[in-house]
Amino acid sequence: MDSYTTIAAWSLAIARALSVSNIEPRALFKQVGLDLERLEAQPDARVDIDKMTRLWQAAEKASASAAFGLTVGRYAYPMHFHNLGKLLMASDSLAQAFEALPDYSALVSNGGRIRLQRTPHMLGLTISPLKGVEISELAIDAFFSSLMQHGKQMVGHSHFVRRVELIRQGAKSTQAWQACFGCPVVMNAADNCMWMDRSMLEQAALTKDPLLAKSNEVAVRQYLDNMQALSWRQKTSQGIHASLLNQEPTAAKIAQMYNISERSLGRYLQLEGTGFRELLSLKRQELAHHYLTHTDMSIALLSDTLGYSSVSNFTRSFKSWQGISPSQYRQKNGSFTG
């Protein structure tokens, strides 16, 4: 399975929020297999998302607050997000800062996809976890909360946030979220989206510094290049995973992600002893296992999710992998209890 990670700065923000709440963070970190002192020494290191998710769960339990992610967002300082935070803060406007986020979102986490939605008057910043990657609801809350805080530092207020939509199941009360964002908050939404006033986003930022922004953009790109010092097998597999969110992956689309030709991608994969079709099949197997054993998703919907033209084609492929049908596999291995 691919390695999905997030920047260590998130774990440090959790530690700060725990300390402010009079909760000793070191024991919680140790409980999930993380060394707080080591992370403090390397804030731009990477942390496996599964460990981060367990840390969020432990923090929620220790704080006895489903809204703890909102508190964490207040302690996610721009300076700790490598040069990305500095790049955002030095941008000419919030619009410029948020427009750049999708291109650099992998620095924050490569387990989710950030995209922008536009209406004539609103800009929606949307984050969607990749299929089969578990990201805590608190992490989503913290992400939106921190972006609002960063924006407030840039323009002097947070009135640009007009509506927040969250996939998370409705809490008993949305008061904490409404108090944090200062706007209507909708739970059980189709997407995690923070809607913002475009006219306010266009206003010049108090912190703008074009030369510093350009310098930090170079540093961010270098960090991402180093972070993505993965094999072409890993890059292609992660690209396939991301593409499965909205469309059937093709070698041409994956090559385009990395600004190379489809022919070059094929050659690189061949040198590593694999090929696009093999990696697509392996990714489909990985996700099929996840959905069959951890959810009650119907076989028909799973077939569509994995990009098959029909249930029979999916079933045929699955039998070639496992020797039994998807339904039989779920009966044998499923842990979903409904």
Give me the pLDDT at residue 246, please: 62
Cα four-point dihedral sign 28, 180, 112, 77: negative
DSSP assignment string, 245-268: TTS---HHHHHHHTT--HHHHHHH
Give me the pLDDT at residue 1, please: 45
Q: What share of the chain is helix, strand, coil (3-state, %, to 5)?
A: 60, 10, 30
CA distance 160 to 306: 38
Closest CA to 169 of 154, 152, 189, 185: 189
Give me the pLDDT at residue 337, please: 44
CA distance 226 to 20: 34
- The DSSP output letter for 322 is H
Give me the pLDDT at residue 65, please: 94
Per-residue tokens: 4: 């999905």
Amino acid at 9: A
Helix (H) or strand (E) holding 251: helix 251-257
Q: Give the list of residues 6+ apart from residue 17 with CB closer than 8 angstroms, or none.
A: 59, 68, 71, 72, 74, 75
Query: Per residue in 253-284, pLDDT tens?
Result: 888 877 789 999 999 999 889 999 999 999 88
Do 54 and 9 contact (CB within 8 A), yes or no? Answer: no
Burial of 172 (0-12, 13-18, 19+ CB in 10 A): exposed
Query: Per residue in 15-28, pLDDT tens?
Result: 999 999 999 999 99
Q: Residues in the chain with pLDDT < 50?
A: 1, 337-338
pTM attached to this predicted model: 0.69
Do 49 and 109 contact (CB within 8 A), yes or no? Answer: yes
Give me the pLDDT at residue 106, please: 74
Closest CA to 293 of 327, 269, 259: 327
Per-residue tokens: 170: 């409705």
Give me the pLDDT at residue 143, please: 92
Domains annotated for the chain, with CATH where assigned, are 69-222 (no CATH), 232-333 (1.10.10.60)
